[in-house]
Structure formats: C-alpha cells, structure tokens
Amino acid sequence: MEEIGEVFQYYSHIGVAAVKLVKELKVGDRIRIQGHTTNFEQNIKSIQIEHKVVQKAKSGSEVGIKVDEKVRRHDKIYTIE
C-alpha cells in the first residue's frame, strides 16, 4: 500500500471527503481509508476538482471524492494494487 493523500474535510450530508493528494489518483483506483476509527476499502467512482468532474487528479491537488462510509480529518488514504 502506498499513501496517496489525507482527508482535510468531510461533508456528511453528501458523503464526500475533501482530500489533499500527495500522489496521482484516478477513477477506478481501489483505495483504503484508515484512521483512529476509520478502516475500509472502496473503488473510486468519482473525483471532482472545484466542482468539476475529472477522471484523474495529480499530486498536490485538492479533490472531492465520494466515500462509502464516514471519514474524519487526518484519515490517510492509500492505493491498493
């Protein structure tokens, strides 16, 4: 597993995590989100940058991703091969 980002905000009413990326992320990637009380895997179904849907995002981007479960600030995001 390789760390690709960290959650800096969670919007519970729409189930979206705002993430600061340190590596590229693409639609279709399988990720694990881990934190003190968070631990689950999911596939990336959509990525948005400033409310625009994109297929991939580069390192350094701040993106919104739809998440299957509640996440918290400082949760780490990893890609799964």
What are 53-64's pLDDT values in tens digits? 999 999 999 999
* pTM of the predicted structure, to 2 decimals: 0.94
> Which residues on adjacent β-strands are paired with residue 21?
5
> What number of CA atoms fall less than 13 Å from residue 78's CA on the CB side?
13
More confident residue, 81 or 48: 48
Amino acid at the residue 78: Y
Range 2-79: architecture per CATH = Beta Barrel (2.40)
- Report, as an integer, the average pLDDT of 41-67: 97
Give me the residue spans of the domains in the chain.
2-79
Contact (Cβ atoms closer than 8 angstroms) between residue 60 and residue 21: yes
